[in-house]
Structure 1
């Protein structure tokens, strides 16, 4: 085994963890190419959502989450990653090139990697236990390492603006036949699927947690107990934002979202990314103006809280086989380190 670069099985194992990253509608819009001493992340536009995500912003945020998952996995395996984002301006689908270097894993590296297989998108209500402010601060600090702001929206006035925008976006997309058809294509999947959203992981019927209107997924079968539904939901909303609004910013937003979600899992918090309010231009503009005071550009909303004590574990969302998302770089006829 090479001491200067990870072997093929190490890279394949890291990518197997990378693809556990959350993605919009679990489309998994990524591809990985392996070079002699590098790993390349590419966008898979065949998995785009033209109605919901015409600019491809959600797609790049999803890929950014996979990029961070990959770096976390490699770090836990003893390899740091030198990352070059959007390395080829002539190829906008070439999102990142990673060069691994020997590295001694830290406790944080190991904890975040361990969180990957435990993280779930939990769309259920959360308990009435408040989230400690130090937990929210840790999520924000770790997101900031990736060039993004993660802002807890605890002020009552700003919170009201945010939940109103979320509700308005839900109404706008529900009135758009193209968006509802796209959602129906990806939602309500069985456990035999290798992508899309499981019916068992989405709630039946329209759902509000407190004042927060959750996205309405068709054919959901997940239910909550009457006792849990009656308890006050103390979940917190955090807006993830970047200084700019370009592909590199979207990629970094995904990396920051991954860092925050894995940290939440490490802290035993339940979490759920909310993208709907930022997929509608009008409500995204409202959030930027009224919640962020035009100081940054909103990219994603995260909801975090404590799961109910008796809440049943959620099944893992399906994933495509790892071999379907890995290709050698052009010119390599066999995996690196195996020729």
Structure 2
């Protein structure tokens, strides 16, 4: 029986919410908020942080919130509680994505502790990788992590398929770069050097002059012609890395949340073994391109994330809003 006091449980809940804020999110929008009522954590979508041009249906918002939900689950379990989770518990409240309560006392296993320890260490990468190989056994472990959350991670082995993913990413980036409303929305989440903001993409988190890899995967142009970016040595950033796609059988709001949870498990396991990930969602934001990928390269499953995995020496700092800014306690 769990005999911890209400004060101890309250402390655990606050720790879980802090962990949630370190989840990855599209353009680091951090599109979530939390309400705590007794021992229940409510995860809610923050519609004010939704990308109304780039993500009108909210798919990327829910994938981001799914990653935050995974962090809550890991934190509770690492701190000695079995998380009791209800996903999309109230159809009349679409912004309420999940509720989580600390359940029975448990002893966290080594795997849980390992993933939990990576929550604040994990970083998104926005350049090429070193030529150091990614161990096949680690890729298999990442595939298993995704499978445990009801999603599928597929490392792309075929050279022609990799070229297609590369070409379609670059094509989507070129089209989006000509879309003024989309570009203005992106600029809104690009942080200038020295900015005190605690959200958005820091200018120091991508190279000023990135090296092209072959095949090339286009990155978002957060600088938009301005002299932003890191001057860190990019001589080692010569490899595309391992291209992988995360898919789900369905494409409902529940599937998007599941994809986010699977994505975060993948990223934390990768981080624990020195592996970083770069994301490419441009093509997934364009219906016809996403549908093409689903039918031609994803075995009819719905692509939720295209990523590259590899080893880098990136030591960029993460920025997050404080938990007090996203938490409402009742």
The aligned counterpart of 1:335 is none
Segments of 5+ residues of structure 1 without an aligned counterpart are 333-339
Q: Please say if residues 130 and 234 of structure 1, whose CA atoms lie closer than 8 Å, have aligned partners that are also in contact.
A: no
Shifted more, 193-202 versus 215-224: the winner is 215-224
Q: Structure 1 CA distance, aligned partners of 2:284 and 2:5?
A: 42
Could you tell me how far 1:210 is from its partner in structure 2?
2.4
Could you tell me how far 1:58 is from its partner in structure 2?
0.5
Seen in structure 2, the aligned counterparts of structure 1 residues 270 and 206 have a Cα distance that, compared at 3 Å, is closer
- Could you list the per-position Cα deviations for residues 131-160 of structure 1 after superposition, in whole angstroms to 9, with x for gaps in the alignment? 111111111101111111111111112112
Q: Structure 1 CA distance, aligned partners of 2:234 and 2:46?
A: 42
Return the match for 1:221 from 222, 229, 233.
229
Q: Structure 2 CA distance, aligned partners of 1:263 and 1:272?
A: 15
Q: Please say if residues 161 and 290 of structure 1, whose CA atoms lie closer than 8 Å, have aligned partners that are also in contact.
A: no
Matched, 1:306 2:314: no
The aligned counterpart of 1:199 is 203
Q: Structure 2 CA distance, aligned partners of 1:14 and 1:188?
A: 27
The aligned counterpart of 1:239 is 245
Return the match for 2:51 from 38, 49, 52.
49
Could you tell me how far 1:125 is from its partner in structure 2?
1.5
Q: Structure 2 CA distance, aligned partners of 1:100 and 1:61?
A: 23
In the TM superposition, structure 1's runs of 4+ consecutive aligned residues that sit over 4 Å from their partners are none
Could you tell me how far 1:313 is from its partner in structure 2?
1.3
Q: Please say if residues 207 and 216 of structure 1, whose CA atoms lie closer than 8 Å, have aligned partners that are also in contact.
A: no
- Could you list the per-position Cα deviations for residues 94-126 of structure 1 after superposition, in whole angstroms to 9, with x for gaps in the alignment? 100112122111101110011111101111221
Segments of 5+ residues of structure 2 without an aligned counterpart are none
- SS of 1:245's equivalent in the other structure is coil
TM-score with structure 1 setting the length:
0.90
Counterparts of residues 94-109 of structure 1 (less than 5 Å): 94-101=96-103, 102-109=105-112
Q: Please say if residues 210 and 234 of structure 2, whose CA atoms lie closer than 8 Å, have aligned partners that are also in contact.
A: no
Return the match for 1:89 from 88, 91, 96.
91
Q: Structure 1 CA distance, aligned partners of 2:131 and 2:198?
A: 35
- SS of 2:56's equivalent in the other structure is coil
User: RMSD value over aligned CA atoms?
Assistant: 1.8
The aligned counterpart of 1:62 is 64
Q: Structure 2 CA distance, aligned partners of 1:35 and 1:226?
A: 48
Could you tell me how far 1:200 is from its partner in structure 2?
0.4
Q: Structure 2 CA distance, aligned partners of 1:324 and 1:314?
A: 23
Return the match for 2:214 from 210, 214, 224.
210
Seen in structure 2, the aligned counterparts of structure 1 residues 60 and 207 have a Cα distance that, compared at 3 Å, is farther
Could you tell me how far 1:208 is from its partner in structure 2?
3.5
Counterparts of residues 1-339 of structure 1 (less than 5 Å): 3=4, 7-101=9-103, 102-189=105-192, 190-204=194-208, 208-211=212-215, 212-218=217-223, 219=226, 220-225=228-233, 227-229=235-237, 231=238, 233-294=239-300, 296-307=301-312, 311=313, 313-316=315-318, 318-328=319-329, 332=330
Q: Structure 2 CA distance, aligned partners of 1:254 and 1:3?
A: 31
TM-score with structure 2 setting the length:
0.93
Seen in structure 2, the aligned counterparts of structure 1 residues 85 and 4 have a Cα distance that, compared at 3 Å, is farther
Could you tell me how far 1:50 is from its partner in structure 2?
0.5
